Amino acid sequence: MRSIGYLLIGIFFGIVMFKSEAASWFRIYEMFQFQSFHMYGIIGSALVLGVIGVQIIKRKNLKSFFGQRITFIPKEKSFSRYMYGGIIFGLGWALAGACPGPIFTLIGAGFMPILIVFAGSLLGTFLYGLLRKKLPH
């Protein structure tokens, strides 16, 4: 039953990524050229509502659909891993024009060369796993 819920949320997410054009290489390029408000509007409006909603959940102690406490796990404190990792991710995001969610959306949309990006992202994840202990975190 819950699996159907996850699937429906995923389908909805895929449709939003495609129809918002957040999965378009051109929109990512345009964003990094600061020549459109579109991507900033998407991320910004999601964020404003996200911040408000999370505050409401925390202050009103709202429970999940299943009556459990909602907990937000704080991210570990660090600078280097977020900055270095972030820069590496940003280089890839701009080059391939896709982030991990849209990679899957574009597979479904039928742009088959995205499978090369997907294979690369698995390889990159694997390389990180191998090198993790040698990297500053």
Partner 1 sequence: MEWIFEPWPWYVSGPLIALIMFLLIFIGKGFGMSSNLRTMCTLCGADSKADFFDFDWKSQRWNLIVVTGAIIGGFIGANFLSNDLSVAINPDTINTLEELGFSSAGEAYLPTELYSWEAVGGIKALIILLVGGILIGFGARYAGGCTSGHAISGLSNLQLPSLIAVVGFFIGGLVMVHLLFPLIF
With respect to partner 1, which residue has the nearer C-beta, 59 or 65?
65
Query: Cβ 90 to partner 1, closest distance in Å?
Result: 2
The answer to whether 26 and 97 are in contact (CB under 8 A) is yes
Query: Cβ 121 to partner 1, closest distance in Å?
Result: 4
Query: Cβ 115 to partner 1, closest distance in Å?
Result: 9
Q: Is the dihedral of CA 95, 136, 76, 78 positive or negative?
A: negative
The answer to whether 32 and 97 are in contact (CB under 8 A) is no
62 φ/ψ angles, rounded to the nearest 5 degrees: -65, 145
With respect to partner 1, which residue has the nearer C-beta, 54 or 61?
54
With respect to partner 1, which residue has the nearer C-beta, 59 or 74?
74
